Amino acid sequence: MFQEIAFWALSAAGVGGALGVVLVRDVFRAALLLVLVFMTVAGLFVLMSAEFLAVVQLLIYVGAVAILIVFAIMLTREVQQGNLPNRLHLPAGILTALLLAAFVYVVLDTDWNQQVGLADIQPGQEQLVQERLEARGLGWVSEAVQSNTVGGLPVDWEDGVERQILERIGEVPSILEGRSSDQPTREVTALETEAQLLQAELILLEQGRLVARLHPAFAEEFQAATGPTPPSEDLMNALNAPDSPVQDVVEIHPKAQGNITWWVGPDGELQGQDRWWLVGPDGDLKYSVVPGQASGTLSVNGQSVTVENFPVLNIFEGRYEQAEERTGIGDLLINDYMLAFEVAAVLLLATIIGALVITRER
């Protein structure tokens, strides 16, 4: 909600300021309106979680470019003559209006290959979602999509799926009725996992780090259904041992008494390595959840455990790296874009020399 308001306010200020830059007759005021546009763009960067760029935008554009422009206006003393249009302003207006229409048409007409979690599914996108789910080995979700049911309950496509799945969390214990909670079926486990992932995603976004846990509502209901069984001390000792594959237990949700608990590494590392652990009711390791590859053999607590092929909705990939953004740009600049960095530095040097040569007194 706040993001919506901020986006529309920034958009209105940005477009109004940009129109002012072009149309206001006083060049000096146009320069000040340009500063306003720069600031709204910085605000948009923040909204798009590009904080570093927002700071750079403020420092370079507002701090340097705007000052430079104001200096140039002062030095050229044409403020009184103002900002007149040339002869071509009418054809230019028509041309840019046509270009804008073309932009809008292309943007709306293109099927952008957006990274959709289940959160972003819109009515009419069922086919697309199904293809992506099948590509991830999530046939059961795909079937649910086809039959318009999730966990045996009908899906209302008009209403967005993520929220419905989150609502289904409360339904899982009722699905478990008549089945042994020690041996949940693949379907139920997968549904739980998905709900956890969806919830964990929200927590990840809130905290900027990875702390996965169960949805509190689900934990309470599940606890009420199964009764408390704390994790064994042996397991805790094994997990906390120096040579444990899990370096640190960030959080143990009360859900440990029930069916599944998430364990997360010290820095919340998710990418690439075995960092996610599903622990069963007896404290034994059930599954290691690795994004995109959820099977293999693991050794914990002196025991070798074969991990089943566990369906995992891999919605974390993108979001996780966003959380790492602050250090990411520096890494990229030093490692991957070193040559471009050097070229930009040489370009700036050439610019300095060029500006000095151009403005030199003869």
Partner 1 sequence: MDLERLLILSGILFCIGLYGTMSRRNAITVLMSLELMFNAVNVAMVAFAKYIVPLGVQDHLGRLLTGQMFVVFIITVAAAEIALGLAIVIALYRNRETVDITEASLMRR
Shortest Cβ 264–partner 1 spacing (Å): 19
Q: Is 347 in the site for partner 1 (CB under 8 A)?
A: yes
Give the shortest CB-189-to-partner 1 separation in angstroms.
Answer: 26
Beta carbons of 292 and 274 less than 8 angstroms apart: no
What x-and-dash track marks residues 29-48 binding partner 1 by CB under 8 A?
-xx--x--xx--x--xx-xx
User: Side-chain half-sphere of 198: how many Cα atoms within 13 Å?
Assistant: 23
Q: What is the residue whose two structure tokens read 């979700």? A: 141
Dist CA 57 CA 36 (whole Å): 12
What is the C-alpha end-to-end distance of the chain, expressed in Å? 60
Query: Which of these ranges, 149-157, 282-290, 301-309, 354-362, lies near partner 1 under the rule CB under 8 A?
Result: 354-362
Region 302-341 residues binding partner 1, contact defined as CB under 8 A? 317-318, 321-322, 325, 328-329, 331-333, 336-337, 340
Comparing CB distances to partner 1, the nearer of 21 and 133 is: 21
Q: Which is nearer to partner 1, 3 or 304 (CB)?
A: 3
Please check whether residue 70 is in contact with residue 46, taking contact to mean a CB–CB distance below 8 angstroms: no
Judge contact between 292 and 278, C-beta under 8 A: no
**β-sheet bridge partners, residue 279:** 261, 285
The single-letter code of the amino acid at 321 is: E
Contacts (CB under 8 A) with partner 1, residues 115-154: 115
- Residue pair 312/277 in contact by the 8 Å Cβ criterion: no
Closer CB to partner 1, residue 109 or residue 243? 109
Q: Which is nearer to partner 1, 20 or 296 (CB)?
A: 20
Contacts 24+ apart (CB under 8 A), 322-326: 322/49, 323/204, 323/208, 323/209, 323/210, 325/49, 325/50, 325/51, 325/52, 326/51, 326/52
Q: How many residues bind partner 1 (CB under 8 A)?
A: 86
- State which of positions 254-273 bind partner 1 (CB under 8 A): 271
What is the nearest approach in angstroms of partner 1 to the Cβ of residue 207? 19
CB of 329 to partner 1, least distance (A): 6
The span from the CA of 40 to the CA of 54, in Å, is: 10
When the beta carbons of 32 and 153 are compared against partner 1, the nearer one is: 32
Residue number, 117 or 173, with CB nearest to partner 1? 117
Q: How far is CA 171 from CA 175, 221, 325, in A?
A: 7, 9, 37
Q: How far is the CB of 315 from partner 1 (least distance, A)?
A: 12
224 binds partner 1 (CB under 8 A): no
Among 84, 124, 177, 304, binds partner 1 (CB under 8 A): 84
Integer Cα distance of 217 and 230 in angstroms: 19
Sequence-distant (≥ 6) Cβ neighbours of residue 17 within 8 angstroms: 33, 34, 36, 37, 40
Q: Which CB contacts under 8 angstroms, 24+ apart, belong to 86-95?
A: none
> Interface residues for partner 1 in 10-29 (CB under 8 A)?
11, 14-15, 18-19, 21-22, 27
Angle of helix 27-47 versus helix 2-23 axis, rounded to 10: 160
> Site for partner 1 (CB under 8 A): which residue of 80, 86, 180, 297?
86
Least separation in angstroms between residue 201's CB and partner 1 is 15
CB of 289 to partner 1, least distance (A): 17
Subset of 45-64 contacting partner 1 (CB under 8 A) = 45, 47-50, 52-53, 56-57, 60-61, 64
Site for partner 1 in 170-189 (CB under 8 A): none
Segment interacting with partner 1, rule: CB under 8 A, options 80-88, 142-150, 241-249, 254-262: 80-88
Say if residues 214 and 257 touch (Cβ distance below 8 Å). no
By CB under 8 A, is residue 89 in contact with partner 1? yes
